[in-house]
Structure 1
Amino acid sequence: MQFDSFSGKMYFVSFIDDFSHCCPVYFIRQNSEVFEKFKEFNVLTTNQTGLRIGIFRTDNGREYLSNEFEKYLKSKLIHHELTVPYTPEQNGVAKQRNRMLMESARSMRAHAGESSKYWAEADRKPDVSHFRVFACLAYSHVPDVYRQKLNKKAHKFIFVGYST
């Protein structure tokens, strides 16, 4: 699907693992990136489930039919199953998932009043790695000018929240 985004991504591709229901969405600049994203997906699902992909079902899109893609699938013992042209119902799970993704993205943009150029950023999760749990141990660094050579470099505290 093609849409220009703020970050320069024009398309998205999603792969669905029927076993684990894992369905990552990859935003890409060109359809030629689909092969690399599939390799990432293959590693992801293999690591998460401990199983390998057995069948890869796609439509007849050119991005799935390159010699390089076919060689990779054969090397990984993955059977490439192509749907009959103009029969989207043969790949109903993927079509339904893509519809759900598009409806979610469309409603998020409408709710936020955003321009459609932010579509690829709409699902990005914020970095909350610096958040801490209430009442956990916290340390405050003591700058060099306020301590002598053998003094503590930090004071121990209890974390009670963030200031506003």
Structure 2
Amino acid sequence: MIVKDDFTRRTWMYFLKSKPDAASAFRSFLASVRADGIPSLVEIVRSDNGGEFFGGEFASVCNELLIKQEFTPAYSPQYNGVAERGLGLIEAAAMAARIQAKVLFGHVQLPKTDRLWAEAMHWACEAINHTACSANPDSKSPYEMWHGEASHARPYPFLKPAYCRWQRPSKLLPKGEACFYVGPSRDHPRDCHRVLTRVGTIQETRNVTWEALPSQLPPPQSSLLPIEVAEEGGEERDDDVDAEEGQGGPETGEAESAGPGGQEVESESQEEKSWLSREGRR
């Protein structure tokens, strides 16, 4: 479930095990908004006609806190286009992040991204909150509109390799362990990160040392033929053309030499005529 502010365009994301958990997630959202010290209150909540919003505990929370509920007509998502479009952008960004990680960090054995869709969605939501938005004045980011200042700690690329320092049970064990960045921490200081360990657990920590990337990334694999093969084929075609031109050369030479030959024949016939006229005179 996502909660999107209509004025600043900031988005919060909550993962629910079941639909009745939407009420508790909404309570957590209201508590976090109040903790941020924003001088405004939630007055209207616009949602679809889902069972988690229409009646039940969610409606009782809204009635208790004097929040008005608005519902969109059936099969008309354009009435709540801000939230619908926001969810679509988060899904697209999460898919792109998982694909891009294999290209940027292909030199490292990455974990399987099929099971990290929830972490990728959380990362995409935070990345969009720190991205410039054309709907805001001066194209400010939702984070800057909400807090009044730009953030100095932006999300790093998804699954960026790093080393984390843990509390060792024994001094014989290494001080650090390889891990992967999956997004900023929630309900923690702003300089904390969420990392994925080799074991497959998520940890919240600020003792992170980023792994240095290679100076030159491996070239992408291509299904096209090498350039040398194409050049060899081109040379053979050039030779064929040259051979054809060479065969046509003598023909043109013979045709050109026919002119002088014809002049010689005409000159010989004129000499015969003059000789015959002389013999007739004698």
TM-score after normalising by structure 2: 0.40
Give every structure 1 segment of 4 or more consecutive aligned residues whose post-TM-superposition deviation is greater than 4 Å.
none
Q: Structure 1 residues 21 and 47, CA, compared in 2 at 3 Å: closer, same or farther? A: farther
Which residue number corresponds to residue 121 of structure 1?
A: 119
Which residue number corresponds to residue 6 of structure 2?
A: 18
Which residue number corresponds to residue 51 of structure 2?
A: 62
Which residue number corresponds to residue 20 of structure 2?
A: 32
Of 84, 87, 100, the residue aligned with 1:111 is 100
Structure 2: gaps of 5 or more residues: 103-111, 124-182, 185-192, 194-203, 213-282
Q: CA deviation at 1:94?
A: 0.1
Q: Can you list the C-alpha shifts for 1:27-64, whole angstroms capped at 9, x where unaligned?
A: 22222221111111112223331321000000001011
Over aligned residues, Cα RMSD in angstroms? 2.3
Q: Can you list the C-alpha shifts for 1:49-105, whole angstroms capped at 9, x where unaligned?
A: 132100000000101123221121011110000001110000000011001100011
Aligned length: 122
Q: CA deviation at 1:18?
A: 1.8
Question: Is the CA contact 1:26–1:37 (under 8 Å) kept in the aligned structure 2?
Answer: yes
Which residue number corresponds to residue 87 of structure 2?
A: 98
Higher relative contact order (CA 8 A, sep 6+): 1
User: 2: distance between equivalents of 1:29 and 1:111?
Assistant: 29
Question: Is the CA contact 2:48–2:73 (under 8 Å) kept in the aligned structure 1?
Answer: yes
User: 2: distance between equivalents of 1:67 and 1:52?
Assistant: 22
User: 1: distance between equivalents of 2:59 and 2:15?
Assistant: 22
Question: Is the CA contact 1:46–1:53 (under 8 Å) kept in the aligned structure 2?
Answer: no
Structure 1: gaps of 5 or more residues: 1-12, 132-160
Which residue number corresponds to residue 155 of structure 1?
A: none
User: 2: distance between equivalents of 1:31 and 1:108?
Assistant: 27
Verify: 1:81 aligned to 2:70, yes or no: yes
Question: Is the CA contact 2:62–2:69 (under 8 Å) kept in the aligned structure 1?
Answer: yes
TM-score after normalising by structure 1: 0.66
SS of the counterpart of 1:70? Answer: helix
User: 1: distance between equivalents of 2:35 and 2:7?
Assistant: 13
User: 2: distance between equivalents of 1:19 and 1:83?
Assistant: 19
Q: CA deviation at 1:21?
A: 3.0
Q: CA deviation at 1:128?
A: 4.9
